[in-house]
Amino acid sequence: MRYAKKSTKFKAGKYVRVGGQDVATNLLTVERENGQRVQDDPARNYGVQVYREAARKFAEGERVQFTAPNYEQKIANRELGSIAQIGRDGTITIRLDEGREVKINERAQRHIDYGYAVTSHFSQGQTARRVLINVDSEHAHKNLLNERMAYVAVSRAAEDAKIFTDNAERLGVMLSRNVSHEQALEPSIDAPQLRNAVAEFKTELMRHSEAFTKESSVKSNLPQQKSKALERTQTQQRVKETEAPQERIEHGLSLGF
């Protein structure tokens, strides 16, 4: 187990191994990485992630995926890549599909797996030349098999998509189920009424927009008109100030001599 959040006994990011359980008291006996065994109440912890260890053999060129996010190296959950190099010291260089390379240590990075298959949920946003879709119509959860799942899975393929299943007839019925929430609008308003309401709203919005534009244009012209009137007044004032001294000088000359 991994504690994603800090608890009363463990820091965030710490790993433990379950060594036993007491059903009567709802307590787990967990073993720390240093070998110390302590009791823990799962009901008092939040953000606990449970894993099952499995051995994997990797080679250079292998397709891999990260099964948990790595915030330090900015690696998202289920991000895909290829192994570019495996060092003698246990350092693995992975070239992510986005283009950049990251280095991980095989002892420190525990959340890595083969990257040849992903769930339809984590395949969103990805594109492949050929897609092989495996769907078990008998054991898969019925709420997961629907029209949306079929669209997401098939639309990942750029050239070819093939579906493998145990029962094609039953799968066809299950993948035809529409889980869209559009029907939630039907009791209160039907589609034509909704379209008419939207059209009326757009018309009203455009009318107000045009009125606002005209009003803004009128207001924006007022400062220009005031500015021109002010210029005329200042020009007239300068002319008067220029002509006034000349008149005084002429009168002065006539009176003085």
Give the residue extent of every domain in the chain: 2-49, 63-114, 128-180, 183-257
Residue range 176-228, pLDDT digits in tens: 888 766 554 444 445 566 566 556 655 655 665 555 555 555 555 555 555 56
Instruction: Output the pLDDT for position 224.
Output: 57
Q: Phi and psi (nearest 5°) for 80?
A: -105, 155
What number is the average pLDDT over the span 113-124? 87
Residue range 49-97, pLDDT digits in tens: 888 888 889 999 999 999 888 888 899 888 999 999 999 888 999 999 9
pTM for this entry? 0.57
Architecture (CATH level 2) of domain 2-49: Roll (2.30)
Up-side HSE of residue 233: CA atoms within 13 Å toward CB? 6
Q: Determine the CATH number of domain 63-114.
A: 2.30.30
**Segment among 91-105, 117-131, 219-233 with least mean pLDDT:** 219-233
Identical fold for domains 2-49 and 63-114, yes or no, is yes
Tell me how far CA of residue 96 lies from CA of 34, 76, 78, 156, in angstroms: 33, 11, 11, 19
The whole-angstrom separation of Cα 145 and Cα 133 is 12
